[in-house]
Amino acid sequence: MESRKLQKTGGSTLIVSLPKKWIKKNKLDAGSEVKLLKQPDGTISIDPGQSDPSKKIATVKCNDEENQHLFRNLIGTYLAGSTEIKVVGSPRLTVKERKTIRKFSASVIGLEIIEEEATQAILIDMSNPGALPFRTAIKRLYKIVSAMYNDSILILEGSEDLAADVVDRDTEADKLQWFIERQFNMMLENSSLSRPLQASSFEGVVYSNVARYLERIADHACRLAEIGYVAGLIPGRKMLPLAKDAGKIMENSMKSFINNDPRKATVVIDKGKKTIQKAQKYFENRYKKEMEHPLEFSIAMDAIVRTIAYSTDISEAAINYSAKIGNK
């Protein structure tokens, strides 16, 4: 970081000089107009205004790659904050590649196919960064994940028909988590997005991490849903109360984060540690006796314990957030 002193001119006006290398790099001169951007954390950034910083174009070449690799490459390009993606065939786009491109477009928020030719396809970002700020996106993601987990508990109680629906909703959770991570990466490259996203870069880090924790809880809700009915048949019935405790811990961890309540977060962390110990002890005692469904029992208990662990991670994020931001 470079420091510069304020200088007084004209009796009352304060001025500060700009670094010479930065001036040359952005091709500025006396009389050039720059934009001053006030950030949520009180700092000011300077935009040279020579180009549109929000526009980022990327090209993805297929090169006869497997479809799974193409999908992953497209997701990586999306997360990097690209606002226009050109997918180029080698030499033409195959039917499978076109299907993968359509699947990708349906799996993310904002990018739409606006041109599709024999040799290439172009996707453009139609979303407005300010339309879904971090806080709003996190709340939506939590509602999806919470509903998924609560339905997985119902499956443990015998509602087997809900399993497919829980798994289907994981796609929506992935969409929002990818979107939040993408917004954060875009904000790192373009500080002017802090205003529409209503967050500083530090807050962006926290929201991105919490989104990742929620998405992983969603994955474990899917695992629980897929084997939940069989696991629910296991005698002993202590698994169900533990699963419900995990759901309550997740709920309270999100309350501590959304409400900026570090005291509640500390209580949640302590409760989480005790519940994990309780679950591990139950697993060790029960697994030796469980001969009919050992795999399902193991998967279910692992999903419950990991749900608690990620929930306590959210509470730790709440404490760190509060220490940095205070009662914002």
Q: pLDDT for 275-319, tens place per residue?
A: 999 999 988 887 666 557 778 888 889 999 999 999 999 999 999
Integer Cα distance of 142 and 146 in angstroms: 6
The answer to whether the beta carbons of residues 87 and 121 sit under 8 Å apart is yes
Q: Which residues touch 125 (CB under 8 Å, ≥6 apart)?
A: 82, 83, 84, 110, 111
Write out pLDDT tens, residues 139-154: 999 999 999 999 999 8
Average pLDDT over residues 236-256: 90
Q: What predicted TM-score, i.e. pTM, was given to this entire model? A: 0.80
Confidence category of residue 156, pLDDT binned at 50, 70, 90 = confident
Integer Cα distance of 292 and 283 in angstroms: 15
Q: Which residues touch 231 (CB under 8 Å, ≥6 apart)?
A: 156, 224, 239, 293, 296, 297, 299, 300
Integer Cα distance of 279 and 266 in angstroms: 20
The answer to whether the beta carbons of residues 113 and 105 sit under 8 Å apart is yes
The answer to whether the beta carbons of residues 212 and 181 sit under 8 Å apart is yes
Integer Cα distance of 148 and 303 in angstroms: 13
Q: Where are the alpha helices (DSSP H) in the chain?
A: 20-25, 67-79, 95-107, 134-156, 163-189, 194-197, 201-232, 239-258, 262-287, 294-325
Q: What is the pLDDT of residue 2?
A: 72
Taking Cα atoms as reference points, which of 113, 110, 106 lies closest to residue 125?
Answer: 110
Confidence category of residue 265, pLDDT binned at 50, 70, 90 = very high
